């Protein structure tokens, strides 16, 4: 049973695997449709070199070939890759605005077959400006056969105008290699060779990446010291504006089919019981196995087991993974226990024979699924089975349980009372009944007792049928509290009155208002209220059934309403001869002062009823505008009052 196995990070962490194994343990999917969608995510340009150098994304970044010739690709497909002669061959790519992203991450991957002897061989460059470092590029350094991944800031071709990472893996061996570069920042780059991370070093001190209007290119490297041309093959260039992870690279490596693959088999599923062992040896049908990983974390080429279970092996080579799984079953025997009967809603304890471990099924209605004596809560007839492991042998015990339906006990008598009265309770659906609590009940063991409660109470009746199964129902008798209705505050001035009117028709046998202070009639439906201070009146309405309703009317009294005119005529005609304070109740004067326009005090009094006659020292004051000030206190709220204004004296 050969299939692609999905590994998770938790497995890697669990076994603390070494790095050279971790790089192979990845999730990938060979579904053609899904791979197409994934491959096109943030893809700026794709050059499959299938007979030409056109951009297969449709973005229009097509290439023009100068001398490079078509060759067979890594699979031997003719006219499916380009080879460069190392002297003049190169490709220029016409670029659109999206070809040169201003932000990282940027990734590039491709297949190369390098046998370069010309110092530097450039596989891809996103921007070309003679004698300047611009855009990004990836190339082979012939002196070491290793990769360089760089970007330039637009300056001339010196280390101070670029940021680079230099690999350590020799790829200049005239063999097909899958290489990739990821740039996330000036000192945050990755170089990958055949899905292996290359622990490279950083170089250069350039500034931010800069582009020009130049074309992209392959095969040419033009710097101040001269022009170098690449010698070797290039295929399947993919240029992304996103980060390619190691998992991404393995998927690309194996798309549409793996370049090299591994077929592994552990044979057919088998069984084991008692004392014994099996030596699992993977058979490699084809492919080159470099490393092994077993389900228990072992990295040996074989695994000796002595217990049942599911075992898998992962055989790894470069970017390819082969996996197989084998299931080792125990020998199994079966027993059936006598059936038990319970009532619906009840539980029963199951007891399995003594064993080293247990596995119950179904487990959804059990208190535990791996213990010897779980409690079962089935809702319907069911057969529970338990697998008992005895030295690698499995014994399966069955426990049939029949569930009897409980009676449908229905109780009636729910009511609401405002006074004392007998209530007839009734229950049905069973053959015997028990009521609780017994408080206020005539009897507790019949279906229809009489209750005489004086307060809110709930009764529970439990009925039992002919099978001994039971169920319960409840009766609620309520004594509701008086209903409460609050009306908005009403405000009057002192010495005023207000009718206490609810706005609705009130139905009741008696009406009573409280307190009686300031009311015309405490037993009237709509009395007149004339309080001198803030008062909240409550109307209690008694209904014929004994229930009460309470209505609340807050009445606020506004005191110290003060007014002074803006002119007076002291000409002894008994009309407006005095300028005085006009006020309601609840005002206490501290002083009343009047000043002429030069600030001279012409009148002062602390008697609230005394006014100014337009004279000073028995001399008539001239006509004009005078300023006045009133200072006093609101005797209801005990708050201070300060008023000022102008008055015109007219003769």
For residues 578-596, average pLDDT: 89
38 DSSP 8-state letter: H
Q: Do domains 332-404 and 562-649 have the same CATH topology?
A: yes
**pTM beyond cutoff 0.85:** no
Domain ranges of the chain: 9-24+260-329, 32-253, 332-404, 410-478, 483-558, 562-649
| CATH level 3 topology of 9-24+260-329 | Immunoglobulin-like (2.60.40)
Q: Could you identify the residue written with the tokens 């800031």?
A: 153
The mean pLDDT of the chain is 86
Which pLDDT band holds residue 6 (cuts at 50, 70, 90)?
A: very low
Say whether pLDDT at 347 is over 80.
Answer: yes
Q: What is the DSSP string of 80-114?
A: -EEEEESSS-EEEE---GGGS-SSS-EEEEEEEEE
Per-residue pLDDT, 644: 94
| CATH 2.60.40 describes domain 410-478 | yes
For the stretch 470-523, pLDDT in tens is 999 999 988 766 655 656 668 777 777 888 876 666 777 788 889 988 898 988
Instruction: Say how far apart CA 69 and CA 83 lie, in whole Å.
Output: 6
Give the E-state strand segments of 186-331 in sequence order.
188-193, 196-197, 201-203, 216-218, 220-223, 226-229, 231-240, 263-265, 270-271, 278-280, 283-286, 291-294, 303-305, 309-317, 320-329
The CATH number of the domain covering residues in 562-649: 2.60.40
Q: What is the DSSP string of 454-487?
A: SS-EEEEEEEE-TTS-EEEEEEEEE-PPPEEEEP
Selection from 402, 364, 375, 370 nearest residue 386 by Cα: 370
Instruction: Say how far apart CA 615 and CA 617 lie, in whole Å.
Output: 7
For the stretch 435-456, pLDDT in tens is 999 999 999 999 999 999 988 8
Measured CA to CA in angstroms, residue 34 lies from 27, 29, 40, 85, 223 at distances of 14, 8, 10, 38, 42
Instruction: Say how far apart CA 576 and CA 565 lie, in whole Å.
Output: 10
Measured CA to CA in angstroms, residue 590 lies from 428, 559, 609 at distances of 82, 17, 12
For the stretch 174-200, pLDDT in tens is 999 999 999 999 999 999 998 889 988
Instruction: Say how far apart CA 425 and CA 294 lie, in whole Å.
Output: 72
Selection from 494, 342, 457 nearest residue 404 by Cα: 342
Selection from 79, 120, 93, 65 nearest residue 232 by Cα: 120
Q: What CATH number matches the domain at 332-404, 3.30.2350.10, 3.30.300.30, 2.60.40.10, 3.65.10.10? A: 2.60.40.10
Instruction: Say how far apart CA 362 and CA 401 lie, in whole Å.
Output: 12
Say whether pLDDT at 245 is over 50.
Answer: yes
Q: Side-chain half-sphere of 430: how many Cα atoms within 13 Å? A: 28
Task: Report the percent of the chain where pLDDT is more than 70.
Answer: 88
Which pLDDT band holds residue 23 (cuts at 50, 70, 90)?
A: very low
13 DSSP 8-state letter: H
Say whether pLDDT at 548 is over 80.
Answer: no
- Among 255-264, 419-428, 559-568, 570-579, where is mean pLDDT lowest? 255-264
Instruction: Say how far apart CA 80 and CA 340 lie, in whole Å.
Output: 74
Architecture per CATH, domain 32-253, reads as Sandwich (2.60)
604 DSSP 8-state letter: E
User: Do 511 and 525 meet the contact criterion of CB atoms below 8 Å apart?
Assistant: yes
Per-residue pLDDT, 318: 65
User: Do 269 and 75 meet the contact criterion of CB atoms below 8 Å apart?
Assistant: no
What lies within 8 Å, CB to CB, of 323 at 6+ separation is 2, 3, 4, 5, 264, 312, 313, 314, 315
610-641 b/e (C-beta count within 10 Å ≥ 16 → b)? ebbbbeeeeeebeeeebebebebbbebeeeeb
If one compares 240 and 528, the residue with the highest pLDDT of the two is 240
161 DSSP 8-state letter: G
Q: What is the DSSP string of 560-579?
A: --EE--SEE--SSSSSS--B
Which pLDDT band holds residue 392 (cuts at 50, 70, 90)?
A: low
For residues 556-565, average pLDDT: 78
Assigned CATH class of 483-558: mainly beta
Per-residue pLDDT, 339: 85
For residues 578-601, average pLDDT: 90
- Dihedral Cα 37, 41, 43, 46, nearest 10 deg: -20
């Amino acid at each position: 049973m050969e299939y692609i196995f999905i590994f998770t990070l938790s497995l890697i962490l669990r076994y603390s695997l070494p790095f050279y194994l971790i790089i192979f343990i990845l999730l990938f999917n060979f579904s053609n449709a899904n791979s197409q969608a994934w491959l096109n995510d943030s893809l700026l340009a794709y050059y499959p070199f299938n007979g030409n150098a056109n951009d297969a994304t449709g973005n229009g970044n097509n290439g023009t070939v100068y001398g490079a010739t078509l060759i067979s690709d890594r699979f031997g497909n003719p006219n499916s890759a380009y080879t460069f002669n190392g002297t003049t061959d190169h490709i220029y790519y016409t670029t659109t605005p999206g070809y040169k992203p201003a932000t990282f991450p940027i990734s590039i991957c491709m297949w190369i077959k390098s046998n370069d002897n010309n110092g530097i061989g450039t596989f891809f460059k996103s921007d070309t400006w003679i004698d300047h470092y611009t855009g990004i590029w990836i190339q082979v350094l012939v002196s070491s056969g290793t990769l360089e991944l760089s970007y330039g800031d637009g300056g001339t071709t010196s280390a101070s105008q670029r940021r680079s990472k230099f690999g350590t893996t020799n790829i200049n061996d005239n063999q097909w290699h899958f290489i990739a570069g990821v740039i996330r920042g000036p000192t945050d780059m990755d170089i990958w060779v055949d899905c292996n991370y290359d622990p490279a070093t950083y170089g250069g001190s350039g500034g931010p990446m800069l582009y020009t209007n130049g074309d992209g290119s392959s095969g040419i490297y033009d710097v101040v010291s001269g022009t170098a041309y690449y010698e070797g093959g290039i295929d399947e260039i993919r240029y992304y504006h996103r980060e390619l992870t190691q998992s991404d690279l393995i998927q690309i490596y194996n798309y549409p089919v793996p370049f090299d693959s591994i077929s592994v088999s552990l044979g057919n599923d088998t069984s084991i019981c008692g004392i014994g062992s099996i030596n699992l040896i993977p058979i490699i049908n084809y492919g080159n196995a470099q490393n092994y990983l077993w389900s228990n974390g072992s990295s040996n080429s074989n695994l000796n087991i002595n217990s049942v279970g599911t075992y898998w092996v992962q055989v790894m080579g470069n970017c390819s993974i082969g996996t197989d799984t084998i299931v080792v079953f125990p020998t199994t025997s079966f027993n059936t226990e006598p059936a038990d009967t319970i009532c619906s809603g009840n539980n029963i304890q199951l007891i399995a024979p003594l064993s080293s471990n247990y596995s119950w099924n179904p487990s959804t209605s059990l208190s535990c699924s791996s213990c010897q004596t779980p409690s079962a809560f089935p809702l319907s007839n069911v057969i529970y089975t338990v697998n008992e492991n005895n030295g690698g042998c499995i014994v399966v015990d069955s426990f049939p349980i029949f569930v009897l339906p409980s009676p449908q006990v229905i109780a009636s008598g729910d009511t609401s009372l405002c006074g004392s009265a007998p209530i007839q309770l009734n229950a049905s659906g069973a053959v015997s009944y028990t009521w609780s609590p017994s408080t206020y009940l005539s009897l507790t063991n019949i279906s229809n007792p009489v209750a005489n409660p004086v307060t809110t109470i709930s009764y529970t009746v439990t009925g039992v049928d002919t099978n001994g199964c039971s169920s319960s129902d409840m009766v609620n008798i309520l004594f509701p509290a008086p209903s409460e209705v609050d009306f908005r505050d009403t405000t009057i001035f002192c010495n005023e009155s207000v009718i206490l009117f609810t706005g609705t028709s009130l139905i009741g046998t008696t009406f009573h208002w409280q307190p009686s202070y300031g009311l015309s009639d405490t037993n009237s439906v709509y009395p007149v209220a004339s309080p001198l201070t803030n008062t909240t009146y409550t109307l209690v309405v008694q209904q014929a059934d004994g229930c009460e309703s309470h209505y609340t009317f807050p009445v606020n009294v506004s005191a110290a309403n003060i007014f002074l005119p803006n002119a007076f005529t002291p000409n002894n005609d008994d009309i407006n001869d005095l300028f005085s304070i006009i006020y309601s109740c609840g005002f206490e004067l501290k002083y009343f002062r009047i000043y002429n326009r030069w600030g001279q005090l012409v009148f002062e009094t602390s008697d609230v009823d005394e006014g100014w006659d337009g004279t000073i020292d028995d001399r008539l004051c001239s006509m004009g505008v005078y300023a006045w000030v009133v200072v006093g206190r609101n005797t209801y709220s005990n708050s201070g009052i300060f008023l000022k204004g102008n008055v015109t004296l007219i003769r």
